[in-house]
Amino acid sequence: MAGMVPEDVYELTGVADPRLSPDGRTVAYTVWRTDKEANEYRSSIWFAATGDGSPPIPFTSGSKRDAAPRWSPDGSHLAFTSEREADHAQLYVIPVGGGEARRLTDLKEEVNDLSWSPDGTRLLFSARVPDAAYEEKDDKRREPRRLTRLQYKLDNEGWTADRRQHLFTVAADGSEEPRQITDGDYEDRGLAWSPDGTKVAFASARQEDWDLTFAGAVYVIDAEGGEPQPVTTFDAIYGAPSWSPDGSRIAFAFNTGILDDPRHNQIGVLDLATGERRVLTESLDRTCDPYPSIREPIWDGDDLLFAIEDQGNSHLYRVPADGSGKPELVVGGDQMLTGYDAVGGLIVHSATTATRLSELYCSDRQLTAVGEPFRAGREIGAPEKFTAVSDDGTEVDAWIIKPAGWQPGRRYPALLCIHGGPFTQYGNRLFDEFQISAGAGYAVVYSNPRGSSGYSEEWGRAIRGPG
């Protein structure tokens, strides 16, 4: 059987962003694919039962990109984003029992970070707010930009100095236009409703020199708008806030590596009454918010669920939110998580391995097989892990993928692949670049040398120069 060739990337697919219904009986998730003719990604929303073994069913057509499925608190409706009527994703709500999707937004930029209000009457989301100059579509005629911040552009986003990201709310029944509740020359990201629906937590950097100091905080704002108030200090970079069910605490991911990279991301909890910050994950000595981030920490009773990077894998862990115990492994193995969710103690996750595209799982049961046609049609090389030993005796995790059609005793050319970052990791996910090289007759060798993530913080900082 032949190995992968470049043209095969158009047949790649996978599962992402699983979200459990409030009763835990159904999981909504996205299935992504590529459109060769349009040279774009497509995605649709599917439903899978968690208990009765019935096959998954498609819920949206996915003619373009349907994504970010979010259940209403009573489980009767699903919010999602779609490009079905625009060039960028807008917000829709559809009855789970069937019916037409109602479009709630008509913004100039795409909608991100959906969240239902606890009473199910409103939705919270983020979107970029472009300057009026963008009304002129011809770049040559548009007024020149005046840049006053060091952070003015981002990969995959383009210009940001004149189109900052802010928070909005909108009525779930479409009876009102979206209301922008944050503004200013700041980047607002991550969002969470308070359990009583009166306030919103989000991450931002709103100090005067935010673009120079790189520190950020968790803020709280009235759900109707107003002046955001920081509830954390500015000694770290904070993100992914997640409100406790009783409203007394906010969990978050944070990193103390301000101009001192790399440092491990940690999971912490803030007591809103006392302002005390409790760090829950230092004992792991692993980065506890993988890049790219999967999602915010999830409250599961009195515990928090979160993902970590570990020796070429990403795993799911649980830790008591009151700091009374150490983190414990929930989902491990040679795999990389691509999503997870929990309701009432039931956990679902999506994950990829070195030879399998991302699929959906409930505990140890596999619920989907979207990547099986791809796997069946070509040889997917299984990496062999080995240890490379440096001159000083340091052991480095490494892998080799043999060329497609490998025969013992025959010599093959080899490619040594070195990851960027440097604070990132190679590992156990199906990596199309490696498989295509193996399909072309190369042995592919890759490793996680010092400077990589997924190991101790000392390992990641080993390549820093003195001072």
In a domain, 448, yes or no: yes
Residues 10-49: tens digit of each pLDDT: 999 999 999 999 999 999 999 999 999 999 999 999 999 9
Residues 139-156: tens digit of each pLDDT: 899 999 999 999 999 999
pTM of the model: 0.96
> Do 362 and 388 share a domain, yes or no?
no
Range of the domain at 17: 6-376
> Do 350 and 289 share a domain, yes or no?
yes
Q: Average pLDDT, stretch 329-335?
A: 98
At residue 267, the 3 state secondary structure works out as: strand
> Do 267 and 212 share a domain, yes or no?
yes
- Of 376, 402, 430, the residue that ends a domain is 376
Q: Which residues pair with 400 in a beta bridge?
A: 384, 445
CA 104/CA 93 separation, integer angstroms:
7
CA 56/CA 54 separation, integer angstroms:
7
Residues 53-111: tens digit of each pLDDT: 899 999 999 999 999 999 999 999 999 999 999 999 999 999 999 899 999 999 999 99
Residues 366-412: tens digit of each pLDDT: 999 999 999 998 999 999 999 999 999 999 999 999 999 999 999 99
| CA 439 to each of CA 198, 285, 416, 433, 443: distance values in angstroms, whole numbers, following the listed order | 56, 37, 15, 10, 9
Residues 388-399: tens digit of each pLDDT: 999 999 999 999
Burial (Cβ within 10 Å: 0-12, 13-18, ≥19) of residue 99 = exposed
Q: How far is CA 171 from the centre of its chain?
A: 26
For the cut 70, the answer to whether the pLDDT of residue 272 exceeds it is yes
In a domain, 240, yes or no: yes
CATH number at residue 248: 2.120.10.30
In a domain, 120, yes or no: yes
In a domain, 300, yes or no: yes
> Do 285 and 394 share a domain, yes or no?
no
Torsion of CA 134, 140, 141, 143, to 10 degrees: 60
> Do 37 and 184 share a domain, yes or no?
yes
Nearest CA to 130 among 101, 108, 152?
Answer: 108
Residues 190-243: tens digit of each pLDDT: 999 999 999 999 999 999 999 999 999 999 999 999 999 999 999 999 999 999
Query: CB atoms < 10 A from the CB of 176, how many?
Result: 12
Mean pLDDT, the chain, rounded, equals 97
Residues, the chain:
467
> Do 447 and 428 share a domain, yes or no?
yes
In a domain, 67, yes or no: yes
List Cβ neighbours of 144 (8 Å cut-off, separation of 6 or more).
none
- Predicted confidence at residue 183, as pLDDT, reads 98
- Of 376, 399, 426, the residue that ends a domain is 376
- Predicted confidence at residue 1, as pLDDT, reads 83
- Predicted confidence at residue 466, as pLDDT, reads 81
Residues 158-188: tens digit of each pLDDT: 999 999 999 999 999 999 999 999 999 999 9
> Do 411 and 307 share a domain, yes or no?
no
In a domain, 466, yes or no: no
Residues above pLDDT 70, as percent of the chain: 100
Q: Which residues pair with 129 in a beta bridge?
A: 164
> Do 352 and 432 share a domain, yes or no?
no
In a domain, 78, yes or no: yes
- Of 348, 376, 404, the residue that ends a domain is 376
> Do 305 and 438 share a domain, yes or no?
no
CA 120/CA 171 separation, integer angstroms:
9
> Do 199 and 119 share a domain, yes or no?
yes
467 pLDDT band, cuts 50/70/90, is low
> Do 421 and 346 share a domain, yes or no?
no
Nearest CA to 404 among 358, 448, 435?
Answer: 435
CA 312/CA 322 separation, integer angstroms:
29
Contact predicate 89/82, CB 8 Å: yes
In a domain, 467, yes or no: no
- Predicted confidence at residue 188, as pLDDT, reads 98
Burial (Cβ within 10 Å: 0-12, 13-18, ≥19) of residue 234 = middle
Residues above pLDDT 90, as percent of the chain: 96
The strand pair at 189-193 and 90-95 is best described as: unpaired
Q: Average pLDDT, stretch 286-310?
A: 97
Look at the block and give the residue holding tokens 């992968």. Answer: 4
For the cut 80, the answer to whether the pLDDT of residue 413 exceeds it is yes
> Do 297 and 237 share a domain, yes or no?
yes
Q: How many domains does the chain have?
A: 2
